[in-house]
Amino acid sequence: MDTLTTIDMNFSAAVRREVVADRTSDHALLEATRIGDEDAFAELVGRYRNPITNYIYRMTNDYDGAVDLAQETFVRVYRAAERYQTTYAFSTYIYRIATNLAISELRKRKRRKLVSLTGFFQSRDGGEAQEFNPPDLKPLADTALVDDERRRAVQRAISTLPEKYRAPLILRDVEGKSYEEISRVLQTSEGTIKSRISRARGFLREKMTAYL
Amino acid sequence: MRNVNCRNIQREIEEAGSAELLSVAATTHLEACAACETVARQQTKLQAIVSSLGTVEAPGDFDFRLRARLANEKPGSARPLANVLFSLRFAAIAATLLLIGSLVVSVALKPDSGNSLAGGNRVTLQPVTAGSGPAQTKAPVSVTPGANELAAGNPRLANVPPKREPKEQRTKNELAALRNGNRLGTQDSSSKGAPVITRDQLAESYPSAAFPINASYQSHKVSVDNGRGTSRTISLPSVSFGSQRTLSQTPSPLIASARDSW
């Protein structure tokens, strides 16, 4: 009898753990959001607000705009919760929305010609205009300042990459996504993603030669 | 051959992102090729910088702003853009209709002062029945020379069927407008000729009809209103141009007098 009770208790605990794990999965949270659970949606926002804001910021190089677009991303997730299909991971889904919004914003900016000093340095692949970004060759006293300057230079260089190279590079090298997930987010084949990332790194290295 | 090999190695370096992930063949090549070794070193350093970019965090009020945004969108439908477009379209249609309506109203109420000064025959008429005086003035009637004149002279001729239906209709409309307080109804007779009723036409329509000769002596009194409250009554003598007088075939006391016989 004691043995049976112990087994039973262990089983209950296992079931409870599974329920808790399932309850906290992204799909479960979205399912709860669908039936009106505001706390579940808040939990989902808490999980993804920083990664999505960071990703959009790396894409657009504009913090305020990135926050607005991140909010718009969550609004769209909330609005489309009923139509969401659990075919892929939720992170793939939300990154796809964020990517589309970021690319749309970049195209809007391009149309408005908000990018400074453009038009003179077009990329070889006919992508968007490249910003002239001369390095500051003056010696800096502090190593921290040097590193900080390098990071800012890299961010500026990334923001001048054509969007078709920029998104996969950020997803891979900044966000640390796998090629498979990137191909799902961007809805492009894995081979194309690898090729674009490789080209993006080459472009970036050329731009950053003075800092390397 | 060496260039092709270097190109392949550099492509592998870019794909790997770091020299540590290169194949044995590529690593061997790097030991012998300074150019490729430089590329590999730069790529590794760049990868380290990119990885050190860190994560930008969302602001503290992110959740609050998001909730406010969602709360603002909830009362409306799920398609705010479509609502905006619909409202814009509705506003455009409403503005167009308003513009057209205002144009129609302005054209209808436009005072025709220029034409009234230029055209001598354009007057507002309030005819007074002969011999009745101002006290018996009925509704203002627009007087047109011709058939109406005949009808005014002889009540029996009032039964003559109207030959020009649109004009009658227009007169009714003007009467209605005048009854409604619009005292600025005008009628331009300058370009119209007087209708001619021949003896044959009259005989065919009404064989027993007779035109009283004395009717020609009855004068018309016309009250002219300038639209500002000042009216003036003008007595107009009967004038006929090229009309044929018709004598009744039946014995009438009117034709007994030799003075009236032609």
CB contact under 8 A, A74 and B50: no
| A133 burial level (CB within 10 Å; 0-12, 13-18, 19+) | middle
**Distance between CA atoms of residues B27 and B40, nearest Å:** 10
pLDDT at B132: 42
CB contact under 8 A, B46 and A154: yes
Pairing of strands B125-128, B220-225: antiparallel
B63's CB contacts (< 8 A; 6+ apart) are A42, A45, A46, A49
pLDDT at A165: 93
Residue positions counted in chain A: 212
Chain B residues touching A56 at Cβ < 8 A: none
Determine contact: B58 vs chain A, CB below 8 A: yes
Backbone φ and ψ of A132, nearest 5°: -75, 125
CB contact under 8 A, A173 and B66: no
- Chain A residues within 8 A (CB-CB) of chain B? 42, 45-46, 49-51, 53-54, 57-58, 63, 66-67, 70-71, 74-75, 78-79, 147, 150-151, 154-155, 158, 172-174, 194, 197-199, 201-202, 204-205, 208-209, 211-212
pLDDT at B122: 44
Tell me: ipTM over 0.95: no
B202's CB contacts (< 8 A; 6+ apart) are B209, B211, B246
pLDDT at B175: 65
Q: Work out the minimum CA distance from B114 to partner chain A, whole angstroms.
A: 54
- Return the residue matching tokens 């709860």: A32
Determine contact: B43 vs chain A, CB below 8 A: yes
Tokens of B157: 């001729």
> pTM to 2 decimals?
0.52
Q: Which residues of chain B have pLDDT under 70?
A: 1-4, 74-88, 111-168, 170-171, 174-175, 177-190, 199, 202, 206-220, 238-262
**Per-residue confidence in pLDDT tens, chain A, 212 aa:** 444 444 454 544 444 444 444 558 888 898 888 888 888 999 999 999 999 999 999 999 999 999 999 999 999 999 888 888 878 889 999 999 999 999 999 998 888 765 455 444 444 444 454 554 556 666 666 777 888 888 888 898 998 999 899 999 999 998 889 999 999 999 999 999 999 999 999 999 988 888 87
